[in-house]
Amino acid sequence: QVQLVESGGGLVQAGDSLRLSCAASGRTFSSYVMGWFRQAPGKEREFVSGIRRSGIITYYADSVKGRVTISRGNAKNTLYLQMNSLIHADTAVYYCAAASSAITVPTTTRAYEYWGQGIQVTVSS
C-alpha cells in the first residue's frame, strides 16, 4: 500500500497561483495511476485531474482545463498540481489519490484505493 500526504494549500486571492504537492511513501510510487480530487462544502468529491504511471498522459476536468497542470516526479515519489488563475469556485479541500489496478485514468472516487488526508485551498474573490 501507499501513504499520501498533501501540502501547499492555503488562502489566496482570485487570479493567484498555487502548487499542491502529494508526497507518497510505501509501495513503489510509479506503479500507481494518480489523481487529484476536490470537495467543496455541501458538494460531492469531484475529479480534478489525473496522470498515468509514466507521467506522459494526463486528464483534466473541464472546469480546470487550461488553468491546471498535473505532473509527477517518480524519482521523488511526489505528485504535483499547479493551479493558475484561481477563481472562487476552486475553493475546496483537495485530495490526492492512488489507483493500483487502473490502466487509464479513472475519474470516479471508487476506482482509487488510497487517499491523502486532504488540504484546504481557499480563493477569496
pLDDT digits (tens, 9 = 90+) for 67-87: 999 999 999 999 999 999 999
What are the residues facing 51 on neighbouring strands?
A: 34, 58
**What are 107's three cell numbers?**
475519474
Q: What is the pLDDT of residue 26?
A: 82
Whole-angstrom distance, CA of residue 85 vs CA of residue 42 = 24
CB–CB of 98/4 below 8 Å? yes
CB–CB of 33/87 below 8 Å? no
Question: Which residues of the chain fall below pLDDT 70?
Answer: none
